[in-house]
Amino acid sequence: MQYKCRRQAPVFSAVVAALAGAVAGCSATPTTAVERPFRDAALTVAGPPGVETTLRGPVRTWQAQQAAAPATFVPLDPALGPAKPADVWVLPAWQLSHWVAAGKVQPLPERLTRRDGASPWPGLLPIYREQLLLWQGPTGRAGTAYAVPLLGEAPLLCYRADLYADAEHRRKYREANPDQELRPPQTWAEFVRQAAYFHRAGFPLPALPDDPVALERLFGQVAAGYARRPALDQGPGAGSLPESALALFQDLATGAPRLEEPAFVHALGVLRAMQDSRGPRGDGAPEEAFRAGRAALCLCEAPWLVRFQEAGSPVRDKVGVAGLPGAEKVFDGGEGDLRQPNRMPYLGGGALVAALPADAPNKDAAESLLGHLLDRRVSTQLILDPRDAVRVVRGEQLEDGVKWDVLGLDGERTQAAKAALRWTLEHPTLKNPALALRGPDAAAYRDALVRHLRRPLDNKDVAAKDALAAAAAEWRALAEKAGPEKTRAAARLSVGLAP
**Residue 23 scores a pLDDT above 50:** no
| CA separation for the pair 406, 397 (Å, rounded) | 13
pTM: 0.91
| Confidence at residue 118, expressed as pLDDT on a 0 to 100 scale | 83
> What SS3 state is found at 159?
strand
Q: Which is nearest to 323 in space by CA: 156, 164, 153, 188?
A: 156
Mean local confidence (pLDDT), 11-36: 45
| Confidence at residue 29, expressed as pLDDT on a 0 to 100 scale | 43
State the pLDDT confidence band at 21, using cuts at 50, 70 and 90.
very low
Which pLDDT tens digit goes with each residue over 437-449?
Answer: 999 999 999 999 9
| Confidence at residue 27, expressed as pLDDT on a 0 to 100 scale | 41
| Confidence at residue 36, expressed as pLDDT on a 0 to 100 scale | 87
**Residue 230 scores a pLDDT above 80:** yes
The CA radius of gyration of the chain, in Å to the nearest whole number, is 23
Residue 82: Cβ-neighbour burial (10 angstroms; 0-12, 13-18, 19+): middle
Secondary element (H or E) of residue 354: strand 352-357
**Residue 17 scores a pLDDT above 60:** no
Average pLDDT, the chain: 91
> What SS3 state is found at 11?
coil
**Residue 227 scores a pLDDT above 70:** yes
With b for 16 or more beta-carbon neighbours within 10 A and e for fewer, the 416-429 pattern comes to bbbebbbbbbbbee
State the pLDDT confidence band at 285, using cuts at 50, 70 and 90.
confident
Which pLDDT tens digit goes with each residue over 326-378?
Answer: 999 999 766 556 678 999 999 999 999 999 999 999 999 999 999 999 999 99
| Confidence at residue 334, expressed as pLDDT on a 0 to 100 scale | 61
Topology classification of domain 14-153+348-426: D-Maltodextrin-Binding Protein; domain 2 (3.40.190)
The gap from C-alpha 48 to its chain's centroid, in whole angstroms, comes to 16
Please tell me the least confidently modeled range out of 96-105, 160-169, 324-333. 324-333
Mean local confidence (pLDDT), 235-244: 79
Report angle CA 293, 296, 299 to the nearest 5 degrees: 105
| CA separation for the pair 166, 178 (Å, rounded) | 18
CATH number of 155-346: 2.40.70.10, 3.40.50.510, 3.40.980.10, 3.40.190.10? 3.40.190.10
Percent pLDDT > 90 in the chain is 84
**Residue 273 scores a pLDDT above 90:** yes
Report angle CA 343, 177, 325 to the nearest 5 degrees: 10
| Confidence at residue 108, expressed as pLDDT on a 0 to 100 scale | 97
CB contact at 8 A, 227 and 258 = yes
Helices assigned H by DSSP within 43-166 = 51-66, 96-101, 126-127, 161-165
State the pLDDT confidence band at 276, using cuts at 50, 70 and 90.
very high
> What SS3 state is found at 310?
coil
Per domain, the residue ranges of the chain are: 14-153+348-426, 155-346
**Residue 239 scores a pLDDT above 80:** no
| Confidence at residue 419, expressed as pLDDT on a 0 to 100 scale | 97
| Confidence at residue 336, expressed as pLDDT on a 0 to 100 scale | 52
Please tell me the least confidently modeled range out of 150-159, 273-282, 434-443, 445-454. 273-282
Percent pLDDT > 70 in the chain is 91
| Confidence at residue 13, expressed as pLDDT on a 0 to 100 scale | 40
| Confidence at residue 22, expressed as pLDDT on a 0 to 100 scale | 42
| CA separation for the pair 156, 204 (Å, rounded) | 18
**Residue 264 scores a pLDDT above 90:** yes
| CA separation for the pair 189, 337 (Å, rounded) | 16
Mean local confidence (pLDDT), 181-206: 97
Same fold, 14-153+348-426 and 155-346: yes
| Confidence at residue 384, expressed as pLDDT on a 0 to 100 scale | 97
| CA separation for the pair 98, 439 (Å, rounded) | 7
| Confidence at residue 333, expressed as pLDDT on a 0 to 100 scale | 66
**Residue 3 scores a pLDDT above 70:** no
| Confidence at residue 159, expressed as pLDDT on a 0 to 100 scale | 98
State the pLDDT confidence band at 32, using cuts at 50, 70 and 90.
very low
Helices assigned H by DSSP within 384-441 = 411-426
364: left (phi > 0), else alpha (psi -120 to 50), else beta?
Answer: alpha
